[in-house]
């Protein structure tokens, strides 16, 4: 009986996908659950498994095609024989070598990011030990294997033998002249956007055309936070198993400011403002296919260590391509840190339907006036982009001042 391979329902907000790559070919026999095809969506990448054991008898949609949820991608014929099974016995061994089976199994249990890293680093993925769920091979596993298998220095060759004399009649071949490269030769590549990149582009344009975006700026003296981190960084890591970064301070400060100015924690629905009394803070994370914003749920109920652990986990899974739709869904306010890339000042774009986003930047020593004297202090510019439809300019300025006050006096965060 044939079984259809269909585009699965991933979430309410995802209605289409793009076929990134078929992992099996027509005529191959597969087991139920074996990964068959990789799909790209605007938020996550996923693998579609075989709905039943049998032969992949038909592939209806090819690599690179856009498909809708519920569409048929191909067919598994449970009664058919694979092409290898009907071939003459002399053409192939009765069963594949064990090494081939190992490579197929390892490839099927690796994430798409891990497979790509294996190709880039020329790593045999069948020899990589996975550390993900159920032993799944992650990108970090491949990178670790690539580092450990770096070629050692070549051994010193044995004493060279004297070269034999060249026959008298042999003449060296004339040198092949190199083809001159002229200044007029220029090349271009045309690369199709990934599904996620195309969606990011669309949403950014929509944000600019639907919201009345405006930005305000301030600067924060980071000396107190940096001194506190220096005093407690080792004991904090020993106790919690994670480093104490600056992100958790700004998450806590943002919650304090959102409590004081609740319209920054809202969204616009028609002629109404939806004021939210919970704090789901999105933290922008860079990934290979573009920026993603996983969400820290109920961040007001978490301590510094719990926030740092979640951010670290998000960054790791963004690199591995294993973030789920649930990780990215919702959010009431967003924090983005361009400082990790060296940005000194920027204007972040809203993440709809949110009405506020806080931009952090590079910490840089600058001369500032302190108690009538000029001192070098570790300063950071911060930016708040807000939707002017429901947030007034004075309110936005005071919100950012509240952020500044809380970060410059870390002890006040405990009171918040």
CA distance 229 to 212: 38
Give the CA count within 13 Å in the CB-facing half-sphere of 156.
1
Angle at 252 between CA 246 and CA 258, to 5 degrees: 130
Predicted confidence band at 155 (pLDDT cuts at 50, 70, 90)?
very low
pLDDT digits (tens, 9 = 90+) for 173-222: 556 566 665 566 788 988 888 877 888 888 888 888 889 999 999 999 99
- Residue 248 pLDDT > 60, yes or no? yes
Predicted confidence band at 123 (pLDDT cuts at 50, 70, 90)?
confident
pLDDT digits (tens, 9 = 90+) for 34-43: 899 988 887 7
Judged by DSSP in three states, 145 sits in helix
Q: pLDDT exceeding 70 applies to what percent of the chain?
A: 82
388 is catalytic: yes
Token pair, residue 46, equals 């996923």
Tell which residue, 349, 324, 74, 40, has the closest CA to residue 192.
40
Token pair, residue 238, equals 């020993």
CA distance 265 to 223: 28
- Which superfamily does CATH assign the domain made up of 209-415 to? Chloramphenicol acetyltransferase-like domain (3.30.559.10)
- What CATH number does domain 1-95 carry, 2.40.50.100, 1.10.3720.10, 3.90.1150.10, 3.90.550.10? 2.40.50.100
CA distance 196 to 104: 28
Please answer whether residues 73 and 5 qualify as being in contact, where contact means their C-beta atoms are separated by less than 8 angstroms.
yes
Do 96-142 and 209-415 show the same overall fold?
no
Domain 96-142 has CATH 3.30.70: no
More confident residue, 120 or 225: 225
From 66, 365, 392, 409, the catalytic residue:
392
More confident residue, 1 or 78: 78
> Model's pTM, two decimal places?
0.68
pLDDT digits (tens, 9 = 90+) for 50-81: 999 999 999 999 998 899 888 999 999 987 65
CA distance 134 to 402: 45
- Residue 154 pLDDT > 50, yes or no? no
CA distance 174 to 185: 27
Helices (H) and strands (E) in the chain, counts: 10, 17
More confident residue, 243 or 109: 243
């Amino acid at each position: 009986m044939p079984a259809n391979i269909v585009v699965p329902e991933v979430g309410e907000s995802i209605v289409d996908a793009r076929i990134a790559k078929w992992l099996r070919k027509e005529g191959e026999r597969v087991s139920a659950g074996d990964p068959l095809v990789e799909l790209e969506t605007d938020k996550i990448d996923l693998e579609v498994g075989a709905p039943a054991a049998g032969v992949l008898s038909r592939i209806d949609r090819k690599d690179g095609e856009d498909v809708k949820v519920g569409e048929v991608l191909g067919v598994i014929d449970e009664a058919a024989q694979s092409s290898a099974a009907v071939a003459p016995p002399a053409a192939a061994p009765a069963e594949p070598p064990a090494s081939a089976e190992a490579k197929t199994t390892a490839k099927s249990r690796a994430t798409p990011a891990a497979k790509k890293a294996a190709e880039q680093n020329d790593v045999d993925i069948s020899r990589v030990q996975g550390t993900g769920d159920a032993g799944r091979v992650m990108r970090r596993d491949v990178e670790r294997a690539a580092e450990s298998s770096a070629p050692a220095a070549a051994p010193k060759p044995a004493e060279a033998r004297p070269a034999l004399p060249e026959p008298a009649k042999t003449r060296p071949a004339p040198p092949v002249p190199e083809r001159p490269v002229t200044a007029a030769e220029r090349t271009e590549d045309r690369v199709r956007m990934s599904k996620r990149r195309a969606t990011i582009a669309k949403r950014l344009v929509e944000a600019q055309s639907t919201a009345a975006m405006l930005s305000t700026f301030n600067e924060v003296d980071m000396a107190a936070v940096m001194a506190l981190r220096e005093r407690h960084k080792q004991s904090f890591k020993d106790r919690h198993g994670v480093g104490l970064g600056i992100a958790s301070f700004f998450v806590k400060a943002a919650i304090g400011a959102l409590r004081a100015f609740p319209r920054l924690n809202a969204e616009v629905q028609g002629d109404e403002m939806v004021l939210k009394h919970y704090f789901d803070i999105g933290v922008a994370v860079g990934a290979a296919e573009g920026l993603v914003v996983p969400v820290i749920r109920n961040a007001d109920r978490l301590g510094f260590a719990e926030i740092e652990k979640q951010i670290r986990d998000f960054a790791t899974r963004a690199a591995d391509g294993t973030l789920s739709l649930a990780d990215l869904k919702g959010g009431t306010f967003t924090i983005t840190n361009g400082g990790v890339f060296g940005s000194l000042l920027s204007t972040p774009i809203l993440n709809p339907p949110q009405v506020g986003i806080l931009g952090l930047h590079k910490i840089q020593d600058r001369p500032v006036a302190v108690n009538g004297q000029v001192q070098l202090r570790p300063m950071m510019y911060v930016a708040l982009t807000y939707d002017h439809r429901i947030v007034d300019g004075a309110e936005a300025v005071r919100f950012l001042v509240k952020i500044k006050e809380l970060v410059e006096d870390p002890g006040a965060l405990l009171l918040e």
